[in-house]
Amino acid sequence: MTIRQHLIDPEICIRCNTCETRCPTGAISHDRNYVVNVDICNFCMRCVRPCPTGAIDNWFDVETPFTLDEQHGWQFLPPRPAAADVAPPDAFDDEAADLLARAAGAMGGAARAPASAAHPQVNVYTRADPAHATVTGNARITESGTDSDVHHIILDFGSEYFPYLEGQSIGVLPPGTDAEGRPHAMRLYSVASPRDGEKPNTNNMSLTVKRVMRSDGQPGLASNWLCDMAVGDRLDVIGPFGSTYLMPDDPTTDLLMICTGTGVSPFRAFSLRRRRTAPEPGRMYLFFGARTPEELPYFGPLQRLLQSQLHRELVYSRQPAAEREYVQDRLLQRHDLVADALRNPKTYIYVCGLRGLEEGVETAMAEICARHDLDWPALRLQMCDEGRLHIETY
Ligand SMILES: Cc1cc2nc3c(=O)[nH]c(=O)nc-3n(C[C@H](O)[C@H](O)[C@H](O)COP(=O)(O)OP(=O)(O)OC[C@H]3O[C@@H](n4cnc5c(N)ncnc54)[C@H](O)[C@@H]3O)c2cc1C
Ligand code: SF4
Ligand code: SF4
């Protein structure tokens, strides 16, 4: 069984003692090197942000943990395991970990990041010490007059650096308390921008937020609060969260992205990242479902892209005078394309959106595999193991 171990890189560490003074558990001590006691560290992350060098941000999955004596003897960190095995845990915050575990779907996606994914930071900002964001943009991105009110919201973090990768989520803290007088539960939102910012090289990000009505007819708390925000309004943000639902940095990989509604948010980030950094990237396929074109977030901007930049399959379930079509129907219709993607060991599959999506995609994949002489249960297992199948539904 592997254990995740928090380690300090002695080559980079400048021995400033900041981490030791911030650690609430006494897990960090120093002699020759600064070291972390694996039996005491509870992954609270309080030491990570204050470290001026990043030497503290190392997480290895190991069979046998390194002892304190071993850590004191190092001049360098030992050779790193595969990239997928050096990510921090998904979230150190119980609330976020619970939400992410539920979002990983009934069948479960990969428990590891793509091998070439960049190293994610998580829990940099916490409830006790949140980042303070300012809204610098808020625009509706579905047509007015339709039932689906989805907003593209831009948050600026000013001088508080908020690091994130495409595919990660942030936690938003609605102000006030619930009926029992406790602070409201955080709500997670996927980041819709690439890692270098909504505008390149800025400390900002965008979200794609749907105004939700609860089944009792009451407005959803956080989504309505966010969608009603004006430019200049401030909010508390924590995170980022998520260390597996990440994109491969290898530009030659293919991405098969399957979503409904606001599930497009991480895929906007993935495709913008590719377009900013890889002039001749691997292929990107987007299967995107909504009720109508008017209710499809980012419909206008998506129309402006060439199919060669982003192969789009836009699917509508409530078009007047047309048969209802769902994402899984279109996957089946394009079975040759999907089967080719499944056969390619460089294809990464991402599913994101409302809960019901996962089951439909699973059924479609199984049927496509059966038609093309592929073994879906075995392939699914292999893709999860290789960090190539990721599910996030909510
Ligand atoms: C990992 C993760 C990522 C998420 N990313 C996004 C995102 O990028 N954009 C986004 O808008 N939401 C996202 N969500 C959902 C978000 O966290 C909130 O649950 C949602 O905004 C409702 O919160 P609320 O306070 O307005 O509603 P509440 O007062 O908490 O009421 C919740 C009700 O709304 C339903 N609901 C939740 N989300 C939706 C939705 N998108 N469409 C329709 N019904 C919904 C729930 O089933 C429930 O009935 C994500 C959730 C998770 C777990
Ligand atoms: S993660 Fe928390 S417990 Fe572990 S060393 Fe850092 S501050 Fe201490
Ligand atoms: S805060 Fe960072 S640089 Fe300073 S002693 Fe700790 S690990 Fe080393």
Q: Which residue has the tokens 């980012």?
A: 298
- C-alpha of residue 24 to centroid of ligand 1, in Å: 33
pLDDT of residue 82: 61
Distance, in Å, from the CA atom of 387 to the CA atom of 359, rounded to the nearest integer, reads 20
Mean pLDDT, the chain, whole residue set: 93
Closest to 26 in 3D by CA, of 66, 72, 68, 73: 68
- C-alpha of residue 160 to centroid of ligand 1, in Å: 26
Ligand 1 atom with least separation from CA of 241: 1
Pick out the residues of the known binding site for NADP(+): 190, 210, 262, 317-318, 353-354, 392
Give the burial class of 388: count Cβ atoms within 10 A of its Cβ; 0-12 exposed, 13-18 middle, 19 or more buried.
buried
Is a pLDDT exceeding 70 seen at residue 91? no
What does the pLDDT look like over 193-252, one tens digit per residue?
999 999 999 999 999 999 999 999 999 999 999 999 999 999 999 999 998 999 999 999
Mean pLDDT of 276-297: 93
In single-letter form, the type of residue at position 26 comes to G
Mean pLDDT of 300-320: 93
Residues found in the chain: 394
* 77-86, 91-100, 262-271, 315-324: least confident range: 77-86
Closest to 124 in 3D by CA, of 218, 240, 228: 240
pLDDT of residue 234: 98
- C-alpha of residue 246 to centroid of ligand 1, in Å: 20
In which band, very low, low, confident or very high, does the pLDDT at 2 lie, cut at 50, 70 and 90? Answer: confident
Best mutation site among 20, 33, 47, 122 for ligand 2 pocket (most ligand atoms within 8 Å of CB): 47
Residue-by-residue DSSP string for 162-210: ----TT-EEEEE-SSB-TTSPBPPPEEEEB-S-TTTTTTTSSEEEEEEE
**What domains lie within the chain, and their CATH numbers?**
3-81 (3.30.70.20), 98-118+244-393 (3.40.50.80), 131-241 (2.40.30.10)
Q: What tokens appear for 12 in the block?
A: 């980079």
pLDDT of residue 84: 47
- C-alpha of residue 34 to centroid of ligand 2, in Å: 12
Contact yes or no for 235/155 (Cβ under 8 A): yes
Any atom of ligand 1 within 6 Å of the Cβ of 168: no
Any atom of ligand 2 within 6 Å of the Cβ of 6: yes
pLDDT of residue 96: 83
Mean pLDDT of 289-297: 96
pLDDT of residue 321: 86
pLDDT of residue 3: 85
Whole-angstrom CA distances from 30 to 9, 16, 21, 306, 350 are 13, 11, 11, 56, 43
Is a pLDDT exceeding 90 seen at residue 97? no
What does the pLDDT look like over 142-184, one tens digit per residue?
999 999 999 999 999 999 999 999 999 999 999 999 999 999 9
